């Protein structure tokens, strides 16, 4: 136990926790959006994330031709290169998420199969993607070029506002605001909420259920792709099993905030990121996961639907 | 295709079984037991030699993964299939059993038969510790808590000294000779008979439970928990029981596994194992003992049989899972028709 580190490094830990937590929050959207509509854990989302990191790498290294030792970019070129990589990663993940839905969920749903069958077919997709990438990359970790020169805006009580940290905080917040507005205001967003409230009544109201489900997978893929890009930009490497821990963390974040709930995912992600940072500083990083799950159990005991979950969900099994 | 998917081999089998008289049933069961007991010699006997696995010895494959997976899948089936609780951290109980065997045998010199009740007991206690808070939650919240528990057990095993940290525990002794049966590297077939006997015991136990009060309570909880509670079923107690009994089977499998492989390390108890065992349960036919046995047998045996495409075998495994679930969503041998739940929300 090391409490002094909390007071001495409070701002630094909080900033890192916030940045990490917002990446979790973006990935957890891939779980929470799908859960809201289908009431199923989208198990393959962790591999969608993994795919996104490799898509970013592929775009930067093979498509745009920046080698590992390439000098950092500046000015306008930097902005459009990063924007291009971000959009490409989002698009690739969205397409993959839609394919996952088609392969693992659609047919089973049409036949009214039980929930566990869909879970297993999603696990099958997950194993398939994981093993496929392992064979392609021969289990080697891959490094991405440092396109973004990591200069700092300045320090605040030891918290270093580096450009990539700021980017991983600002970009997810923008995405969340846009998404929140989309879900609450637009026609398509309203149809998503309608389906998550009652699938049968939505059908009666003339909503095309399959299109809504594809849309939610697509949105989950887009945000997961954005998270994959941010992750690759910050950590500058990736490996075939990168999705596993990320997937567990993101799913935990979604549950912590109240699964099926957009704002819950946002705050759950931040809470989890902070918790991980402070727990590793205090107890050592090996006990990080234990602390996280212990806190999760306690939270769920007192708020069985997560921090932001609605009471309505209690009636659903 | 519709014909194929609606065909229920389990119901057909039950019909035939119901038509037999008692002596016929006894003869059938005994001959099946003898047949399965002869399985270790199938690899060297001409007509069945196609069963032989190319790289690992067939007799070892029969013990682990096949026998162990069947046992664990049966244990998990009590939790997932009978009472409908999604447990994603079942490997934790397996790990607790294995570490009990590892620690008690290397530090105190106990033998496997003495350790077995303790391994089962510790797994059951762990089941209660996890179950009491977790079973108040529902559905997918329970899933994430159990998943977390599985990870916690593994992380604790990595980080404390009595479990040997990341290197694990080497030099775990084999069980002592029992009724003239030797348990060591040279005699994998005796291990198979031991595992087989334990599987029979578990099957017998599950069948007894199913037709008695706990089985009916689990069935009611699985179909509708609120209604079960209204009818006076103490849902928490029965859910806890199903959890603890499942844990006991996992713990027993763990003790046996540790004494067979002689070296255990935290790497053997990863999340993948929980998922794989859940896949066995759902693949074979959730809730149906024979389906679960068949599913676990196939999913454990298949990757070993196709080891010649060693690089791609997990890839094929993933593809098989997707394909099977799409073709037969209720598994190979689905449970009885009357036991199926009509979902509240049509998917």
Question: Domain of A188: which CATH number?
Answer: 1.10.3470
Q: Which residues are within 8 A (CB) of A9 and not within 5 positions of it... i.e. 6 or more apart?
A: A158, A281
3 state DSSP class of A102: helix
Mean pLDDT of B55-83: 87
CB B13 within 8 A of CB B7: no
Q: Can you give the pLDDT at residue B247?
A: 95
Instruction: Tokens for B20, please give them.
Output: 């037999």
Q: Tell me the pLDDT tens digit for each residue of A59-112.
A: 988 888 887 777 778 778 888 889 999 999 999 999 999 999 999 999 888 887
Q: Can you give the pLDDT at residue A175?
A: 94
When pLDDT is cut at 50, 70 and 90, the band that residue B2 belongs to is very low
Q: Can you give the pLDDT at residue B243?
A: 92
* Helix and strand numbers, DSSP H then E, in chain A: 13, 4
Q: Strands A152-156 and A159-162, how do they pair?
A: antiparallel
B99, pLDDT greater than 90: yes
Mean pLDDT of A291-313: 76
Q: Can you give the pLDDT at residue A176?
A: 94
Closest Cβ opposite residue B321 in set A127, A200, A317: A127
Total domains, chain A: 1
* Cβ–Cβ pairs < 8 A, chains A and B: 150
Instruction: Tokens for B211, please give them.
Output: 């037709």
Q: Does A126 touch chain B (CB under 8 A)?
A: yes
Phi-psi bin for B328: left (phi > 0), alpha (psi -120 to 50), beta? Answer: beta
Q: How many Å lie between the alpha carbon of A108 and the closest alpha carbon of chain B?
A: 6
Closest-CA residue of A relative to B147 is A248
Give one DSSP letter per residue of B56-81, joined into a string: S-HHHHIIIIIIHHHHHHHHHHIIII
Q: Can you give the pLDDT at residue A1?
A: 64
Q: Can you give the pLDDT at residue B345?
A: 43
Q: Which residues are within 8 A (CB) of A212 and not within 5 positions of it... i.e. 6 or more apart?
A: A37, A188, A191, A192, A195, A202
Nearest Cα residue to A228 out of A123, A72, A97: A97
Residue whose tokens read 């006991």: B248
Residues of A in contact with B134 (CB under 8 A): 297
Closest-CA residue of A relative to B87 is A116
Residues of B in contact with A289 (CB under 8 A): 148, 151-152, 155
Closest Cβ opposite residue B140 in set A41, A103, A130: A41
B 159-198 residues with CB below 8 A of A? 159
Peptide bond into B226 cis (omega under 30): no
Closest Cβ opposite residue A304 in set B86, B137, B343: B137
CA A264 to each of CA A8, A26, A180, B147, B185: distance values in angstroms, whole numbers, following the listed order: 30, 12, 12, 21, 54
B254, pLDDT greater than 90: yes
3 state DSSP class of A154: strand
When pLDDT is cut at 50, 70 and 90, the band that residue A314 belongs to is very low
Tell me the whole-structure pTM to 2 decimals. 0.85
A55, pLDDT greater than 90: yes
Q: Can you give the pLDDT at residue B1?
A: 40
Please give the mean pLDDT across all residues of chain B. 85
- Taking an 8 Å cut-off on Cβ atoms, the answer to whether B315 and A135 are in contact is yes
Q: Can you give the pLDDT at residue B6?
A: 56
A158, pLDDT greater than 90: no
B135, pLDDT greater than 60: yes
Between A160-174, B14-28, B309-323, the lowest mean confidence (pLDDT) is in B309-323
Closest-CA residue of A relative to B316 is A128
Q: Does A188 touch chain B (CB under 8 A)?
A: no
Q: Does B155 touch chain A (CB under 8 A)?
A: yes
Q: Tell me the pLDDT tens digit for each residue of B279-306.
A: 889 888 888 898 899 999 988 888 888 7
When pLDDT is cut at 50, 70 and 90, the band that residue B339 belongs to is low
Instruction: Tokens for B32, please give them.
Output: 């099946």
Question: What is d(CA A89, CA A63) in angstroms, rounded to the nearest whole number?
Answer: 12
When pLDDT is cut at 50, 70 and 90, the band that residue A48 belongs to is very high
Q: Can you give the pLDDT at residue A272?
A: 93
3 state DSSP class of A148: strand
CA B260 to each of CA A139, B224, B263, B278: distance values in angstroms, whole numbers, following the listed order: 30, 41, 9, 23
Residues of B in contact with A112 (CB under 8 A): 343, 346-347
Residue whose tokens read 């008695």: B212
Between A14-18, B68-72, B75-79, B339-343, the lowest mean confidence (pLDDT) is in B339-343
Q: For B158, what's the count of Cα atoms within 13 Å in the CB-facing half-sphere?
A: 17
Closest Cβ opposite residue B322 in set A125, A259, A306: A125
- Taking an 8 Å cut-off on Cβ atoms, the answer to whether B138 and A35 are in contact is no
Mean pLDDT of B152-169: 89
B202, pLDDT greater than 60: yes
Domain membership of residue A89 as a residue range: 4-315
Q: How many Å lie between the alpha carbon of B290 and the closest alpha carbon of chain A?
A: 18
Q: Does A121 touch chain B (CB under 8 A)?
A: yes
Instruction: Tokens for B223, please give them.
Output: 């179909």
CB A274 within 8 A of CB A14: yes
pLDDT > 70: what percent of chain A? Answer: 97
Mean pLDDT of A155-165: 83
- Taking an 8 Å cut-off on Cβ atoms, the answer to whether B86 and A116 are in contact is yes
pLDDT > 90: what percent of chain A? Answer: 41
B346, pLDDT greater than 50: no
Asked casually if ipTM beats, i.e. exceeds, 0.95, the reply is: no
Q: Can you give the pLDDT at residue B21?
A: 85
Please give the mean pLDDT across all residues of chain A. 87
Q: Can you give the pLDDT at residue B242?
A: 93
Q: How many Å lie between the alpha carbon of A142 and the closest alpha carbon of chain B?
A: 20
3 state DSSP class of B255: helix
B337, pLDDT greater than 90: no
Q: Does B140 touch chain A (CB under 8 A)?
A: yes
Closest-CA residue of A relative to B321 is A124
Residues of B in contact with A294 (CB under 8 A): 152
Range picked from A195-199, B176-180, B183-187 for highest mean pLDDT: A195-199
Q: Tell me the pLDDT tens digit for each residue of B6-62.
A: 566 667 777 888 888 888 888 988 998 888 888 888 777 767 677 777 777 788 888
Which of A110, A128, A135, A301 would you mutate first to test chain B, the one with the most B CBs within 10 A? A128
Closest Cβ opposite residue B138 in set A103, A289, A317: A317
Closest Cβ opposite residue A286 in set B139, B143, B159: B159
CB B180 within 8 A of CB B52: no
Residues of A in contact with B155 (CB under 8 A): 286-287, 289-290
């Amino acid at each position: 136990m090391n409490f002094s580190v909390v007071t001495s490094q409070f701002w630094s830990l909080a900033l890192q926790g916030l940045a990490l937590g917002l990446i979790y929050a973006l990935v957890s959207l891939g779980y929470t959006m799908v859960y809201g509509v289908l009431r199923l854990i989208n198990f393959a989302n962790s591999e969608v994330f993994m795919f996104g990191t490799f898509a970013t790498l592929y775009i930067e290294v093979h498509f745009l031709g920046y080698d590992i030792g390439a000098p950092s970019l500046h000015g306008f070129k930097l902005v459009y290169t990063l924007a291009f990589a971000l959009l490409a990663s989002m698009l690739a993940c969205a397409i993959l998420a839609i394919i996952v839905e088609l392969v693992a969920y659609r047919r089973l749903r049409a036949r009214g199969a039980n929930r566990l069958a869909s879970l297993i077919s999603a696990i099958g997709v997950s194993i398939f993607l994981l093993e496929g990438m392992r064979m392609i990359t021969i289990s080697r970790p891959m490094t991405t070029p440092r396109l973004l020169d990591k200069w700092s805006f300045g320090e605040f009580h030891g918290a270093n506002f580096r450009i990539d940290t700021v980017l991983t905080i600002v970009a997810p917040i923008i995405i969340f605001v846009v998404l929140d507005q989309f879900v609450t205001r637009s026609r398509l967003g309203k149809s998503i909420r309608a389906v998550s409230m009652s699938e049968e009544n939505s059908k009666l109201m003339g909503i095309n259920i399959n299109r809504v489900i594809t849309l939610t997978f697509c949105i989950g893929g887009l945000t997961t792709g954005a998270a994959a890009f941010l992750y690759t930009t910050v950590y500058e490497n990736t490996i075939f099993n990168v999705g596993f821990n990320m997937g567990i963390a993101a799913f935990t974040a979604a549950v912590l905030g109240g699964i099926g709930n957009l704002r819950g995912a946002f705050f759950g992600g931040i809470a989890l990121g902070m918790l991980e940072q402070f727990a590793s500083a205090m107890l050592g990083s090996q006990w990080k996961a234990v602390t996280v799950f212990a806190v999760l159990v306690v939270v769920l005991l007192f708020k069985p639907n997560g921090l932001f979950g609605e009471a309505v969900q209690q009636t659903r099994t | 295709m519709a014909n194929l998917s609606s065909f229920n081999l389990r119901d057909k089998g039950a019909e035939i079984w119901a038509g037999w008289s008692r002596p016929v049933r006894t003869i059938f069961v005994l001959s099946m037991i003898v047949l399965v007991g002869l399985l270790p010699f199938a690899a060297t006997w001409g007509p069945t030699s196609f069963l032989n696995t190319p790289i690992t010895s067939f007799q070892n494959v029969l013990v682990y993964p096949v026998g162990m997976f069947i046992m664990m899948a049966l244990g998990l089936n009590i939790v997932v299939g009978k009472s409908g609780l999604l447990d994603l951290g079942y490997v934790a109980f397996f790990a607790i059993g294995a570490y009990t065997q590892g620690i008690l045998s290397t530090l105190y010199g106990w033998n496997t038969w003495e350790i077995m009740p303790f391994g089962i007991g510790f797994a059951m206690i762990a089941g209660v510790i996890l179950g009491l808070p977790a079973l108040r939650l529902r559905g997918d919240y329970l899933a994430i808590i159990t998943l977390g528990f599985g990870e916690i057990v593994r992380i604790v095993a990595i980080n404390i000294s009595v479990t040997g940290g990341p290197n694990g525990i080497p030099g775990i002794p084999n069980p002592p000779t029992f009724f003239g049966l030797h348990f060591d590297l040279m005699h994998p077939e005796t291990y198979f008979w031991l595992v087989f006997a334990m599987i029979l015991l578990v099957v017998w136990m599950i069948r007894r439970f199913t037709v008695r009060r706990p089985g009916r309570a689990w069935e009611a909880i699985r179909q509708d928990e609120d209604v079960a509670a209204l009818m006076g079923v103490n849902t928490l107690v029965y859910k806890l029981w199903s959890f603890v009994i499942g844990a006991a089977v996992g713990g027993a499998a763990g003790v046996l596994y540790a004494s067979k492989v002689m070296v255990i390390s935290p790497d053997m108890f990863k999340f993948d194992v929980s998922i794989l065992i859940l896949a066995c349960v759902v693949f074979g036919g959730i809730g149906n003992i024979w389906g679960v046995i068949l599913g676990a047998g196939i999913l454990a045996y298949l990757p070993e049989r196709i080891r010649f495409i060693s690089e791609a075998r997990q890839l094929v495994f993933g593809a098989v899972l997707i394909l099977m679930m799409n073709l037969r969503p209720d598994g190979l041998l689905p449970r009885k028709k009357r036991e199926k739940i009509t979902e509240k929300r049509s998917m």
